[in-house]
Homo-oligomer: A and B are copies of this chain.
Amino acid sequence: MTIDKVCSVCPATIFAGGAASGRVLEVDRWLLRTLLKGVGAPAITAALWDGKDAVTGEAASFRMIVRNRGALLRLFSNPLLHFGDDFSAGNIEIEGELVPFLETVYRAMAGPVGLRRHRKPLADWSRKKVNSLRNSRDNIHHHYDIGNDFYRLWLDSEMLYTCAYFPQPELSIEAAQIAKMELVCRKLGLKGGERVIEAGCGWGGLARYMAKRYGAKVRAFNISAEQLAYARQRAKEEGIEGVEYVEDDYRNITGECDAFVSVGMLEHVGTDNYAALGEVVNRTLSETGLGLIHSIGQDVAEPLSGWLEKRIFPGSYTPTIREMMAIFEPRGFSVLDVENLRLHYAKTLEHWLQRFERHADQVAQMFDDSFVRAWRLYLCGSIANFTTGSLQLYQVLFSRRGNNRVPWTRSQFIDPRGDHGKL
């Protein structure tokens, strides 16, 4: 695991020791059994570094091998953090397919209510970091500035790194990302010449689409320098007018717009800042304007799993619908429509994973093998989170209170051209 090579702001040191652990003791086996019971006794087989199965799951299609005592002890102390780290470091291996293995574990952990409750970490140091302007920059840099060349290997040609929309499940990822952008524009009832503010624009794909297909005038905000450099370059190459990419935090957005849109930024905002985000919308949205916020969410309020929050998305949190209302209610915004696209995100991630695996050798050369394993775990784990329902994807459409220029029905959300895939 070499996150430290990738990003110097990550404060954690990784004890990924792989030294020989001597012979397996009875206490080692007890630790492994206790650990698996603690996470809900998933139907898996588990072995230690002697290669012998210490736990045999009923009809298990998967086998987990813990390669040394260090990994076992770490796993026992905080499985949600250290499974990821030690899997990445090669201290834990999985025989069998990774996604169904993770689904099996997640389902066992979820139990009848509340996922991730059965096995709390011994120390939960990952909570309650407020995303200040400075922290936000560091957090975003951590994930999004590791190289456009890397993301280009496995994202679609428009570089959309958010849930796609598959009107037909068999669509390509390219077509499904365009269908998603079209869906967003249709929900917003976007018309030519309208002013759009986009908070968190990634590599700028939605802003380009709105300008090209709808003739909208978009001001798109982002604090990732690498993403913005790419976005500006593409807009220039394609001769797109009507998009201004601004390197600034969403909290500093001013001006007026007819549509406020944010796709995949809320996960990085943190609940403490939802009222501030609502205030940004309140000072920018016109009287008859519409807004749309698209975010990963969850059914029940629980922290992101330790590893994901620590290694992949520092400062992130995926809200419940109840929590999201803190954006809207204080300013009296009216929620018009909520769509949950959970299974569309699982499918999106399957496309990304396939492409990622096709380029795994290249990724290993760009970084190293532990980076490949970490990213594989992140993609597979995310698929399993969406298929088992521990994550959701919400699109929330809203307006100011009493705005009667809202969509009469959802019929305008449907693309009658059905030409998903053409930009």
Contact = CB atoms under 8 A, between A and B. Distances in A.
Interface of A: 107, 110, 112-114, 166-167, 169, 299-301, 320-322, 325, 328-340, 342-343, 387-390, 392, 401-404, 406, 408-411, 413-414
Contacts of A409: 166-167
A266 to B, nearest CB: 16
A298 to B, nearest CB: 9
30 contacts: A107-B402, A110-B401, A110-B402, A112-B332, A113-B330, A113-B331, A166-B408, A167-B409, A169-B408, A299-B328, A299-B332, A299-B334, A299-B335, A299-B401, A300-B329, A321-B322, A321-B335, A322-B325, A322-B329, A334-B340, A334-B342, A335-B338, A335-B392, A336-B340, A337-B339, A343-B404, A387-B402, A389-B403, A390-B402, A410-B413
Nearest to A167: B409
Given A335-B338, A390-B401, 19 more contacts: A113-B330, A113-B332, A166-B409, A167-B411, A300-B329, A320-B325, A321-B322, A321-B325, A322-B322, A325-B325, A334-B389, A336-B340, A337-B340, A338-B338, A339-B410, A343-B404, A387-B402, A387-B404, A414-B414
Nearest to A103: B402
A296 to B, nearest CB: 14
A390 B204 CA distance: 37
List the 10 shortest-distance A-B pairs measured between CB atoms, nearest first. Answer: A389-B402, A338-B338, A322-B325, A389-B401, A113-B332, A336-B340, A299-B334, A388-B402, A322-B322, A299-B332
Contacts of A343: 404, 406, 408
Contacts of A110: 332, 401-402
